[in-house]
Amino acid sequence: MRNLEKIVETQIRLWSSRAAAESERAPKRRDFWPNITISREFGSRGAALGRLLAERIGFSFWDKELVSAIADESGANRAIIESLDETRRNAIEDAVQGVLMGTRHTTEDYVFNLVRLIRTIGEHGRAVIVGRGGHYVLPPADALRVRFVQLFDDRAGAYAAREGLDERKARAYVDQQEKERSSFVKKVFRRELANPLDYDIVLNLSTIGERSAIELVTRAYELRFARVLPH
């Protein structure tokens, strides 16, 4: 991963230049482009697809590791929050309380920072956000919520091949990681990660190729938000 501070500085410059270009336009948020959140079963290569999608349509890309690192790093965390004006920062704070269902006093600072960061990134728009419950954090009107699934045997076999593991160990690891993700979501958001009603589109990568999956997500975004994306 590139230096975290440089990643944050680069993104804030992009947000600032975009805000300056749109500052004379009204009403506010007229030029807001909704985000795309990606939830994926472990081993389905959903994060890699998210990166390809972001590159194709010109959106910023935020994966689980990057968002988690920023949530843990106080300087970068503060810089991203301060990329919004005070009124919008206050609105984000109120929204985070709602997302966490009034349980901030029992929530670790990391989780609070994580949710606040995702809301801030989402407020800027034009982002692909992978994992960390992004589809629960952002309002449905502000994101196309995507989930990638794949047959367990396909995921475990591909993971074993990538990591040079025997299939038994790969199957155990894939299963463990999926359980940990589900546990995180249930603990923080009190939701079932696999519930299809929490998504706008669920794609099975065992039957749909990666290129077709990107095409379908792009088209779903265009139909839902009446926006034309680069192809």
**Does residue 41 form part of some domain?**
yes
| CATH number of domain containing 39 | 3.40.50.300
**Does residue 137 form part of some domain?**
yes
From the CA atom positions of the chain, what is the Rg in Å? 18
For the entire predicted model, the pTM comes to: 0.79
Using alpha carbons only, give the angle 211, 40, 117 rounded to the nearest 5 degrees. 110
Give the least confident one: 3-7, 39-43, 51-55, 145-149. 3-7
Domain range for 196 = 32-225
Judged against a pLDDT cut of 60, whether residue 97 lies above it is answered with no
pLDDT in tens, 111-158: 777 887 888 888 888 999 998 888 988 889 999 999 999 999 999 999
Res. 99 pLDDT band, cuts 50 70 90 = low
Judged against a pLDDT cut of 50, whether residue 10 lies above it is answered with yes
**Does residue 102 form part of some domain?**
yes
**Does residue 15 form part of some domain?**
no
**Does residue 47 form part of some domain?**
yes
**Does residue 6 form part of some domain?**
no
Q: Count up the domains in the chain and report the number.
A: 1
pLDDT above 70 covers a percentage of the chain that reads 72
pLDDT in tens, 163-218: 888 889 999 999 999 998 888 888 878 889 999 999 999 999 999 998 999 999 99
Q: Which of 87, 107, 85 is nearest to 97 (CA)?
A: 107
106: burial class by Cβ within 10 Å (0-12, 13-18, 19+)? exposed
| pLDDT number for residue 26 | 47
